[in-house]
């Protein structure tokens, strides 16, 4: 449990929320599976932990923004929320329909959970897109995140059950699942590596196996060639390559 007073008093320290995060970690924090059937849930679990870490860092820094840097903080916080929105859109357009072809009804619960928090998620993103520095209130932003956190994390944990390797291989071949995994990955890509890669890697603990890219991509291209275009945002990530703020996001 975090000793930071802000995080300790938030839903990020709520036992029910942490129980859902633990389910996600159980799927993610294993050696990278060799077969496509295992990679489906494994990669998805890491994507879900990126969301958890990015949301937590945006929440933590909401009242610790350096003077004159509000626009950069707001852009980072909005990016963190939009990452989940885009993640869900990609699933609805690609992953869910492809799985439903052979396992009808298997994605129904996931879809209904998406729908349940679609409106508050959109309201949160609109708030970040429109709020100005003189109207910014960290408590308001944090309250909106707190209201969403349990249903979001519950969904992100539940979804992994529907992607269990045994359930998938009962209906799909490994080649079919590899095609599904590839299509899902492409659907989730923004097309802007200088935004996507630094955001993803700096919201994952150093040394983790995800994303499954060559070391030179994560250790050289990411922190050097891809870093600078949006460098002003990355101080707010959970695991920044270049720490410039006096406080860091507490671990849970």
So what's the pLDDT on residue 3? 66
In a domain, 243, yes or no: no
In a domain, 34, yes or no: yes
3-state secondary structure of 66: coil
pLDDT along the chain (252 residues), means of 10: 80 97 96 96 97 97 96 97 91 92 92 87 94 96 97 96 95 97 88 88 90 80 84 95 82 65
Q: How many structural domains are present in the chain?
A: 1
In a domain, 251, yes or no: no
User: What pTM value is reported for the model?
Assistant: 0.94
So what's the pLDDT on residue 2? 57
In a domain, 249, yes or no: no
In a domain, 252, yes or no: no
Smallest CA-to-CA distance from 250 within 24, 72, 9 is with 9
d(CA 133, CA 137): 9
Its domain, for residue 60, covers 5-236
d(CA 149, CA 159): 15
Residue 112, preceding peptide bond in cis (omega within 30° of 0): no
Which residue is listed with tokens 């600078």? 228
Kindly give, in sequence order, each residue whose CB lies less than 8 Å from that of residue 55, ignoring residues fewer than 6 positions away.
Answer: 80, 81, 84, 145, 149
So what's the pLDDT on residue 1? 38
CATH of the domain at 64: 1.20.120
3-state helix, strand, coil split of the chain in percent (to 5) is 70, 0, 30
In a domain, 69, yes or no: yes
In a domain, 190, yes or no: yes
In a domain, 248, yes or no: no
Q: Quick one: 95 exposed, middle or buried, by C-beta within 10 A (0-12, 13-18, 19+)?
A: buried
d(CA 201, CA 56): 15
Cβ atoms 44, 159 nearer than 8 A: yes
DSSP summary character for residue 129 = H
So what's the pLDDT on residue 138? 97
So what's the pLDDT on residue 252? 58
Cβ atoms 78, 128 nearer than 8 A: yes
């Amino acid at each position: 449990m975090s000793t930071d007073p802000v995080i300790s008093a938030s839903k990020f320290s709520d036992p029910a929320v942490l129980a859902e995060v633990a389910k996600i970690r159980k799927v993610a924090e294993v050696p990278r599976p060799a077969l496509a059937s295992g990679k489906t849930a494994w990669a998805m679990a890491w994507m879900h932990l990126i969301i958890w870490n990015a949301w937590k860092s945006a929440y933590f820094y909401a009242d610790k923004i350096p003077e004159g840097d509000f626009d950069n903080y707001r852009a980072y916080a909005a990016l963190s929320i939009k990452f989940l929105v885009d993640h869900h859109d990609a699933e609805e357009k690609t992953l869910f329909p492809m799985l439903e072809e052979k396992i009808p009804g298997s994605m129904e619960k996931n879809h209904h959970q998406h729908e349940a928090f679609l409106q508050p998620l959109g309201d949160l993103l609109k708030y970040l897109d429109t709020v100005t520095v003189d109207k910014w209130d960290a408590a308001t932003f944090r309250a909106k995140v707190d209201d969403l956190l349990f249903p979001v994390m519950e969904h992100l944990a539940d979804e992994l059950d529907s992607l269990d390797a045994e359930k998938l291989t009962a209906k799909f071949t490994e080649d079919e699942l590899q095609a599904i995994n590839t299509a899902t990955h492409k659907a989730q890509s923004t097309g802007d590596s200088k935004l996507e890669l630094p955001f993803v890697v700096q919201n994952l603990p150093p040394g983790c196996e995800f994303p499954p890219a060559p070391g030179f991509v994560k250790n050289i291209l990411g922190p050097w060639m891809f870093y600078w275009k949006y460098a002003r945002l990355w101080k707010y990530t959970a695991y920044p390559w270049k720490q410039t703020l006096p406080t860091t996001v507490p671990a849970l």
